[in-house]
Amino acid sequence: MSDCDIKDPGLAAQGADRIDWALQEMPVLRGLMDRVAAQRPLAGLRVGACLHVTTETANLMRTLKAAGAAPVLCASNPLSTQDDVAAALVEYDRIPVFAIRGESTEFYYRHIRAVLDHRPAMTMDDGADLITEVHTQRADLIPGMLGGTEETTTGVIRLRAMVDAAALRYPVIAVNDAKTKHFFDNRYGTGQSTLDGIIRATNVLLAGKTFTVVGYGWCGRGIAMRAKGHGAHVIVTEVDPLRALEAGMDGYRVMPLAEAAAQSDFIVTATGDKHVVDESHLRIVKDGCVLANSGHFDVEINVPALEAMAVERRRPRSSVDEYRLDDGRRLRLLAEGRLVNLAAAEGHPSAVMDMSFANQVLSAIHLAAAPTRLENRVYDVPAEIDDEVARLKLAAMGVRIDSLTDAQRHYLSSWQAGTG
Ligand SMILES: NC(=O)c1ccc[n+]([C@@H]2O[C@H](COP(=O)([O-])OP(=O)(O)OC[C@H]3O[C@@H](n4cnc5c(N)ncnc54)[C@H](O)[C@@H]3O)[C@@H](O)[C@H]2O)c1
């Protein structure tokens, strides 16, 4: 296939094996694949996807294709692409992919533009870069757009900002906000894979170390929980009083980052915010501290400030840059400040992406099935879809649950009955 830009088609066989391996852990998506192959609810629909190019995303692309769609894929981060997966999608599934691990910013956007040259009628984003490009550079595509979906918190924040500025010109479903997405993917997925990325990158023991988590949202909760499980002393820093309170009652020490920085062996950001680890913190961080980010963009740690402060930089391991400062301290930045779980490991475990991507497929079908185009708003995933994904996942896990009796249903919808 010539309409693609990947690193090496020769990696395809390895990629295909890993994609199949991941699918074994994705029973909900497997079930959907069979269902949509019979019904073809997306027949003829061109879908432009800007997602992390991982084994799980490959299975999402296969499911869209089984549903009759024509997906085209680029990366949602320059460092998260798995080149063997990109090759397998091109060689075996004939899906155009434009993504090369380590691509420059220029190529990152060139690849987004290549996807848009396929004139998609639906966008599927992780971080809202594709939809932003449509709105700013390719407004000619907007009349033909049925809608879009968005995978992550940062993307949903950007979309809501577009709505506030009256800039959003087609409907989008916030897949991130489905309960079967962020309760599990952001918490357990980011929790496990962030620790995985840190350990693969450094092989440093966590037990007994001081581990600071910046941001106690869905991702931060998972990271803190898993770091604690490794025996680290976990500190949480927050700006939201409710979440700070929750972290305190979950058993973590809570303090400003300006206090935590000087005592931390690890500082990990998961805020979706800019320069949360700033120059003032870098000035007091202790020698040998490992700095990592799991938020969507590479802006959470002020890397330009770190570079300006450093007198020397070397790369002792493939995902580690060690900066030596003029006072002799060495700070270790993982994965260039990009999301460490995808850049230094493989991203979330497949079993959790199973639910996230089932929501993507069902949301795409929901958009395509609307009799007329929905309004230019950010929509929640319909509750029925969320419930269906939870039920399918439980069934796949072999877990059965109770159901309400008629008397209980009546009791729960009445108000007259009080104390018995
Ligand atoms: N690495 C991954 O694979 C992955 C997966 C899901 C989400 N994400 C990304 O992770 C980020 C966080 O997502 P989330 O779902 O946890 O969001 P969230 O909104 O639930 O949590 C973010 C938290 O950060 C806090 N925060 C903001 N600025 C801060 C500051 N200066 N100091 C301390 N805390 C601060 C907020 O108060 C909030 O509690 C987003 O960028 C999201 O897109 C990454």
Q: Shortest CA distance to 69 belongs to which of 121, 105, 19? A: 121
DSSP state of 344: T
Cα separation, 56 vs 19, whole angstroms:
7
Q: Average pLDDT of 43-72?
A: 98
Closest atom of ligand 1 to CA, residue 240: 37
Give the count of beta carbons closer than 10 Å to the beta carbon of residue 81. Answer: 30
Q: Please report the pLDDT score of residue 125 as a whole number.
A: 98
Cα separation, 139 vs 91, whole angstroms:
32
Residue 188 has pLDDT above 80, yes or no: yes
Token code pair at residue 103: 């691509």
Q: How confident is residue 161, by pLDDT bands cut at 50, 70 and 90?
A: very high
For 194-222, write each residue's pLDDT tens digit.
Answer: 999 999 999 999 999 999 999 999 999 99
Q: How confident is residue 357, by pLDDT bands cut at 50, 70 and 90?
A: very high
Q: Please report the pLDDT score of residue 29 as a whole number.
A: 98
Token code pair at residue 393: 């996942």
Q: Average pLDDT of 248-264?
A: 98
Cα separation, 313 vs 311, whole angstroms:
7
DSSP one-letter string for 221-279: HHHHHHHHHTT-EEEEE-S-HHHHHHHHHTT-EE--HHHHGGG-SEEEE-SS-S-SB-H
Percent of the chain with pLDDT over 70: 100
Q: Indicate if ligand 1 lies below 6 Å from the C-beta of 282.
A: no
- Distance between Cα 141 and ligand 1 center (Å): 31
Mean pLDDT of the chain: 98
Closest atom of ligand 1 to CA, residue 216: 39
Residue 417 has pLDDT above 90, yes or no: no
Q: How confident is residue 75, by pLDDT bands cut at 50, 70 and 90?
A: very high
Helix axes 350-369, 383-397, angle to 10 degrees: 140
Hey, what's the torsion of the CAs at 269, 275, 277, 279, to 10 degrees? Answer: 160
- Distance between Cα 202 and ligand 1 center (Å): 23
Q: Indicate if ligand 1 lies below 6 Å from the C-beta of 359.
A: no
- Distance between Cα 296 and ligand 1 center (Å): 8
Which residues are bridge partners to 277 per DSSP?
301
- Distance between Cα 221 and ligand 1 center (Å): 10
For 275-296, write each residue's pLDDT tens digit.
Answer: 999 999 999 999 999 999 999 9
Please tell me the residue having the least CA distance from ligand 1 atom 15: 218
Sign of the dihedral through C-alpha 239, 244, 246, 250: positive
Q: What b/e readout covers 133-158, taking b as 16+ CB neighbours within 10 angstroms?
A: bbbeebeebeeebbbbbbbbbbbbbb
Kindly report the length of the chain: 420
For residues 226 and 192, is the Cβ–Cβ distance under 8 A?
A: yes
Q: Average pLDDT of 66-80?
A: 97
Q: Average pLDDT of 116-132?
A: 98
Pocket test residue of 129, 152, 179, 214 for ligand 1, highest count of atoms within 8 A of CB:
152
Q: Indicate if ligand 1 lies below 6 Å from the C-beta of 273.
A: yes
Residue 7 has pLDDT above 90, yes or no: yes
Measured between its terminal Cα atoms, the distance across the chain in Å is: 72
For residues 90 and 4, is the Cβ–Cβ distance under 8 A?
A: yes
Cα separation, 151 vs 218, whole angstroms:
14
Residue 1 has pLDDT above 80, yes or no: no
Pocket test residue of 52, 56, 186 for ligand 1, highest count of atoms within 8 A of CB:
186
Q: Please report the pLDDT score of residue 9 as a whole number.
A: 98
Which residues are bridge partners to 254 per DSSP?
236
Q: Indicate if ligand 1 lies below 6 Å from the C-beta of 48.
A: no
- Distance between Cα 61 and ligand 1 center (Å): 27
Strand-strand pairing, 330-334 and 290-293: parallel
Token code pair at residue 7: 């690193």
Query: If you search the block for the tokens 């997306």, which residue do you land on?
Result: 42
Q: Indicate if ligand 1 lies below 6 Å from the C-beta of 392.
A: no
- Distance between Cα 300 and ligand 1 center (Å): 10
Q: Please report the pLDDT score of residue 79 as a whole number.
A: 95
Residue 189 has pLDDT above 80, yes or no: yes
For 140-159, write each residue's pLDDT tens digit.
Answer: 999 999 999 999 999 999 99
Q: Shortest CA distance to 379 belongs to which of 363, 365, 362? A: 363
Q: How confident is residue 173, by pLDDT bands cut at 50, 70 and 90?
A: very high
User: What's the whole-model pTM score?
Assistant: 0.96
Pocket test residue of 271, 296, 298, 302 for ligand 1, highest count of atoms within 8 A of CB:
271
Cα separation, 53 vs 135, whole angstroms:
23
Give the count of beta carbons closer than 10 Å to the beta carbon of residue 18. Answer: 19
Closest atom of ligand 1 to CA, residue 276: 31
Cα separation, 324 vs 307, whole angstroms:
10
Cα separation, 74 vs 115, whole angstroms:
7
For residues 243 and 261, is the Cβ–Cβ distance under 8 A?
A: no
- Distance between Cα 154 and ligand 1 center (Å): 8
- Distance between Cα 368 and ligand 1 center (Å): 31
Please tell me the residue having the least CA distance from ligand 1 atom 40: 272
Q: How far is CA 165 from CA 159, 161, 169, in A?
A: 10, 6, 11
* 120 three-state secondary structure: coil
Residue 242 has pLDDT above 80, yes or no: yes
Q: CB under 8 Å to 44, separation ≥6 — which residues?
A: 68, 69, 70
For 368-413, write each residue's pLDDT tens digit.
Answer: 999 999 999 999 999 999 999 999 999 999 999 999 999 999 999 9
Q: How confident is residue 325, by pLDDT bands cut at 50, 70 and 90?
A: very high
Q: Indicate if ligand 1 lies below 6 Å from the C-beta of 339.
A: yes
